[in-house]
Amino acid sequence: MKVLITPRSFPQSGAKAYKLLREQEFEIIENRTGKTLTENQLVELCRDVDGIIVGVDPITERVLRSAGKLKAISKYGAGLDNVDLETARELGIKVDRAAGTNAVSVAELTVGLIFAIARNIPYSASSVKSGGWDRLRGIEITGKTIGIIGLGAIGREVARMAFGIGMNILGYDPYIDTNASFLKDYSVNLTTLERIYREADFITLHLPLTDGTRHMINRDTLAMMKPTAYLINTARGELVDEDALYDALKSGALAGAAQDVFSKEPPEGHKLLELDNFILTSHIGAYTVEANEKMAVKSAENLIRMLKEE
C-alpha cells in the first residue's frame, strides 16, 4: 500500500512512526516542498495513494474525488477543519485524528501567551533589542478570572495550569460530561458563554472550527467583553472576526489579544500586526519535541489500524 505523509515536522520527529509504517511494508511518499501543500499538489500526490497522514493541508472535495484508491485519512493533530468530512463519509473514506497528543504543548503555549500579553513581554523584549528601554505597565494574573471555551483535551490542560496559577475558572462546553472529575479537581465553574464574555479577564478558545463557530468572536460578542479583558486564541483563526477584533483593540474596547493562529497563515501584513496590544505567534502550539513525536506515532498507529480494518 502507498501512503502520503504531508506534515513538515513529521520527518524530524517521526523515527518511531516510520518504523511502524515500514513494518507494514507501506510505500511512503512525502511532502518535500517545505510548505503546506496546495489543493493542486494534493490532487497530483493523492491520485494513487491508499492512505494519508495529513497536517493542515486542504483535503477538499476535489482532492477526495480525484483520489480513487484512498481509504483512510489520519490527522497529525486535533483539528479536522481542513478535511471535507462530509465528502469523506460519502466516499467511505475513514478519518481519525491524533486526539490529545498535543494538549500539554498547546496549553503551555496558551498560558505563555497569557503571561506575554498581560506583561507586554514581546513589546519590552523587542524594544530592548532595538536599542530602547521602553515599558508598558502590565497586570497580575493570580486571582483573575479565566473563561475557557471548549473543555476538551487542551481546555482541560489549560484549566489545570490556570488552577495552579490561582485563577478563578469559568468554563463553557455544551458537550461536556458535567460529572467529569477535572471540573471539581480544578474548580472549574461551568457557565454560559455570555457570562464568560461579560466577566472573564482572559477568554481563551479551545473548540473546533465549524460552520457554527466561525466568527463566534465578532462585533456583538466583543462588545460584551470588559475593556480590561484579553482574548487568547490558540485554536483556529476563523473563530475570530479579525476586522472586528482590530476595531476593539484600536479603540480600547478590549485590552489585548494573543493568537497562535490566523485566518490566513502567514497573515501578510494584516493591520492587526501594527498594534502593540496584539501578539501573533506562527502556529507553534503543537510544535514541540514531545508533541510532534506523540502526534507522529499516534497518526501512524491510526492510519495502520484504519487500513488494516479494510
Residues near ligand NAD (CB under 6 A) are 77-79, 99, 102-103, 106, 149-155, 172-176, 206-209, 213, 234-236, 260-261, 283, 285-286
Examine the residue annotation and report whether 265 is marked as an active-site residue of this protein: yes
What's phi and psi for 232, nearest 5 deg? Answer: -120, 130
- The catalytically annotated residue of 62, 199, 283, 301 is 283
Minimum CB distance to ligand NAD, residue 27 (Å): 29
State the Cα–Cα distance between residues 55 and 36, nearest whole angstrom.
8
Minimum CB distance to ligand NAD, residue 12 (Å): 16
Q: Which of 120, 69, 128, 127 is nearest to 310 (CA)?
A: 69
Minimum CB distance to ligand NAD, residue 205 (Å): 8
State the Cα–Cα distance between residues 252 and 248, nearest whole angstrom.
6
State the Cα–Cα distance between residues 18 and 299, nearest whole angstrom.
11
State the Cα–Cα distance between residues 223 and 180, nearest whole angstrom.
32
Residue 259 near residue 240 (C-beta atoms within 8 A): yes
Minimum CB distance to ligand NAD, residue 134 (Å): 29
State the Cα–Cα distance between residues 96 and 120, nearest whole angstrom.
39
Nearer to ligand NAD, 5 or 103 (CB): 103
Nearer to ligand NAD, 118 or 176 (CB): 176
Amino acid symbol at 251:
S
Examine the residue annotation and report whether 283 is marked as an active-site residue of this protein: yes
Nearer to ligand NAD, 14 or 237 (CB): 237
State the Cα–Cα distance between residues 167 and 257, nearest whole angstrom.
18
Sign of CA dihedral 42, 54, 92, 303: positive
Q: Nearest-CB residue to ligand NAD?
A: 152
Minimum CB distance to ligand NAD, residue 155 (Å): 6
What residue spans of 92-187 are helical by DSSP H? 103-118, 121-129, 153-165, 181-185
- What residues form DSSP beta bridges with 257? 231, 278
- The catalytically annotated residue of 8, 236, 238, 293 is 236
Nearer to ligand NAD, 133 or 175 (CB): 175
Nearer to ligand NAD, 43 or 153 (CB): 153
- The catalytically annotated residue of 39, 108, 199, 265 is 265
Question: What residues are annotated to the active site?
Answer: 236, 265, 283
